């Protein structure tokens, strides 16, 4: 059973995660191919000057770190939500095939550059990735509604089917694409945090706040849902409403993250597990702590990605895959041994 959580313990635990996130946000902008002098940045900031270093720091590094944190937080929060909703400890934000659909549609912008258009600051790739993820999400939710109940097996199997279809379609697009477009497709599939300015960060932050709000107000009910739908229903939880609210919030988080950064794996799998190991299973802690820790992890991984083979950058999705794959295997082995 979930242990009673006092406000003092809740606040103390979250403060620790907030400090970790704050340190990651404060330290990682200083790492990159170009060395930034702290004194010169502070001097430019207070004197209202704009040198090359300050332009790199404030227009590229800081926006990139902010975007990376928002993407990581979205993936971590979505992973925590899907794991409790599907009652599957190996569920990730990509279990339902949402990211695969977004990746497939994003690839269309590279294969067919004549389709180029934009809406405000958002590029063709962003819009198509968002639309593809949203379409897959709507399909999954309609399927769940048609099932007439919160059938987690139905959702997982549907996600497998969507992933297989999108994987095959992506291979077809790569086959018909011009050779010069293959690099762009492969780069997107690897996942990455690249931005100038804050427009994309603002858009994903809005989605993060909305989805996070709905998850947090239902966190106590999700504690009941973790023990099974029947038990939650017997304790007065509207399981059907909770199911679709949580599913919708997870979909929003995953869709917005994929649209701006492509498919970045494992963050939404390993961090919620780590939070539960160190801080317990209460969703009032797991949800916000997963968001904070996942955001911190992704910006740290991105700092490694842009410095480890400097001046070349490695897509951050490769770093998270190297980190997450062995941890995933450990979790899988433990699950099989139970």
Q: Residue for token digits 């313990």? A: 9
The per-residue DSSP string of 266-283 comes to SHHHHHHHHHHHHH-S-H
For residue 234, pLDDT over 90 is answered with: no
Q: Find the mean pLDDT for residues 168-193.
A: 87
Kindly state the tokens that stand for 130. Answer: 């968002």
pLDDT at position 3: 55
Kindly report which listed range (27-31, 256-260, 316-320, 333-337) carries the lowest average pLDDT score.
333-337
Indicate if the pLDDT at residue 225 is higher than 90: no
Domains and CATH numbers, the chain: 7-337 (1.10.3470.10)
Rg from Cα positions in the chain: 20
Residue 147 confidence class, pLDDT cut points 50, 70, 90: low
How much is the pLDDT for 150? Answer: 52
- Report helix, strand or coil for 312: strand
Percent of the chain, pLDDT > 90? 30
Question: Where residue 22 falls among pLDDT bands split at 50, 70, 90?
Answer: very high
| pLDDT at 218 (0 to 100) | 94
Mean pLDDT in the chain?
86
pLDDT at 290 over 90: yes
**Pick from 60, 63, 59, 54: nearest CA to 36:** 54
Query: How far does Cα 304 stand from its chain's mean position?
Result: 18
Is pLDDT above 80 for 205? yes
In this predicted model, what pLDDT tens digit does every residue of 121-136 receive, in sequence order?
A: 677 888 888 888 888 8
Nearest to 254 by CA among 121, 67, 102: 102
Q: How many helices (H) and strands (E) does the chain have?
A: 15, 0
Least confident stretch, 23-32, 77-86, 230-239, 322-331: 322-331
pTM of the entire predicted model: 0.89
Q: What's the rounded mean pLDDT across residues 246-253?
A: 89
Whether the per-residue pLDDT at 144 is higher than 80: the answer is no
The predicted-structure confidence for 181-192, as pLDDT tens digits, reads as follows: 888 888 888 888
- Does residue 2 surpass a pLDDT of 50? no
CA gap 133, 137 in Å, rounded: 6
State residue 213's pLDDT score.
Answer: 96
Specify the 3-state DSSP secondary structure of 3.
coil
- pLDDT for residue 334 is more than 60: yes
Mean pLDDT of 241-267: 88
């Amino acid at each position: 059973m979930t242990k009673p959580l006092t406000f003092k313990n809740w606040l103390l635990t979250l403060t620790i995660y907030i400090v970790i996130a704050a340190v990651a946000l404060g330290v990682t902008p200083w790492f990159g191919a170009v060395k930034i002098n702290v004194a010169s940045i502070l001097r430019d900031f207070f004197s209202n000057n704009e040198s090359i270093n300050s332009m790199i720091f404030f227009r590229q590094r800081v926006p990139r770190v902010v975007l990376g944190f928002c993407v990581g937080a979205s993936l971590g929060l979505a992973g925590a939500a899907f794991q409790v909703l599907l009652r599957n400890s190996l569920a990730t934000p990509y279990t339902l095939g949402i990211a695969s659909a977004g990746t497939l549609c994003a690839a269309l912008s590279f294969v067919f550059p004549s389709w180029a258009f934009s809406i405000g600051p958002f590029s063709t790739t962003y819009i198509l990735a968002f639309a593809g993820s949203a379409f897959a999400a709507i399909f999954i939710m309609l399927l769940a509604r048609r099932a007439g109940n919160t059938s987690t097996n139905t959702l997982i199997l549907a996600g497998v089917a969507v992933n297989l279809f999108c994987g095959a379609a992506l291979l077809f697009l790569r086959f018909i694409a011009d050779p010069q477009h293959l690099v762009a497709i492969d780069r997107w599939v690897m996942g990455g945090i690249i931005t100038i300015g804050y427009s994309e960060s603002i858009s994903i932050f809005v989605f993060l706040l909305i989805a996070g709000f709905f998850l947090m107000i239902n966190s106590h009910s999700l504690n009941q849902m973790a023990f099974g739908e029947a038990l939650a229903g017997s304790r007065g939880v509207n399981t059907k409403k909770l199911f679709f609210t949580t599913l919708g919030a997870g979909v929003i988080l995953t869709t917005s993250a994929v649209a701006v950064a492509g498919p970045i794996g494992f963050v939404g799998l390993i961090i919620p597990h780590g939070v539960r190991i160190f801080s317990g299973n209460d969703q009032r802690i797991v949800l916000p702590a997963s968001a904070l820790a996942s955001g911190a992890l992704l910006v740290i991984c991105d700092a490694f990605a842009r410095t480890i083979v400097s001046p070349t950058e490695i897509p951050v999705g490769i770093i998270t895959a190297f980190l997450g794959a062995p941890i995933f295997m450990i979790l899988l082995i433990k699950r099989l041994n139970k």
